[in-house]
Structure 1
Amino acid sequence: MAAGDQAPENTGADSTPTEIDPEVREQLLGARRSIDNIDAALIHLLAERFKYTQQVGRLKATKGLPASDPNRERDQISRLRSLAEESHLDPGFAEKWFNFVVAEVIHHHEQFASGSEPEPESRSHDLS
């Protein structure tokens, strides 16, 4: 934006400029609603996933097993990279996402091993 130019006026929560063509605006809003729904589904799926990883963590803690399972992680990375390729998603992104999730899972497993319950809000995360 050049000096002296003003940013387009926004409509509020949807952050879509008001002077955009109404048809384009509706297409954007429709796509964004779909994205919001998918984001909500992903959060619910992650919550469900963490219920199971916490079961695994408790079991590992009671049996004295290590929090991390490098062989399982390697197999999962390979499987997820293949799924990503089949889905036309960047396999590197899928691996990065998986590593991020696994780091949190291992943190939870370590907390179980130390005799405490995981507190998800206690950690800040950096996806970069």
Structure 2
Amino acid sequence: MSEPTPLERLERLRSSIDNIDAALVHMLAERFRCTQEVGQLKAEHDMPAADPSRESRQIDRLKGLAVDAHLDPEFAEKWFNFVVAEVIQHHTQIADEHNA
């Protein structure tokens, strides 16, 4: 059997990337389903949308995981901050709707 051509290797790699992207989207959707429930709970009990101490602990934890996974920890922090900003926006919206 012959070695795959560069184009065949490229297509296999792209197929793997496409599968990983799909899995990431599904995992993010599940994460946001959970954070929506957190937002409801916070709204029902007049808790603040943001939790800076938890966010700080999570950043530290994710940066450690990133190092272990040979991923740039600064990238992991940027990703987390991006996601958390969206979550806080959702929590604020849920609280506003709850208090209306």
Is TM more than 0.5 here?
yes
Ranges in structure 2 where 5+ consecutive residues have no aligned partner: none
Structure showing greater relative contact order (alpha-carbon pairs closer than 8 Å, 6 or more residues apart):
2
Cα root mean square deviation, aligned: 1.0
For residue 15 of structure 2, what is the aligned residue in structure 1? 33
Q: Which has the larger radius of gyration?
A: 1
- Give 3-state SS (helix, strand or coil) of 1:114's partner: helix
Q: 1:80 aligns with which of 62, 69, 73?
A: 62
- Give 3-state SS (helix, strand or coil) of 1:89's partner: coil
Ranges in structure 1 where 5+ consecutive residues have no aligned partner: 1-21, 117-128
Identity fraction in percent? 63
Post-superposition shift, 1:74? 0.1
Post-superposition shift, 1:104? 0.2
TM-score (norm 2): 0.93
Post-superposition shift, 1:49? 0.3
More helix by share: 2
Q: 1:30-51 CA deviation, whole Å, 9 max, x = no partner?
A: 0000000000000000000000
Deviating runs (4+, > 6 A) in structure 1?
Answer: none
| Cα separation, 1, equivalents of 2:37 and 2:95 | 12
Equivalent residue pairs, number: 95
TM-score (norm 1): 0.73
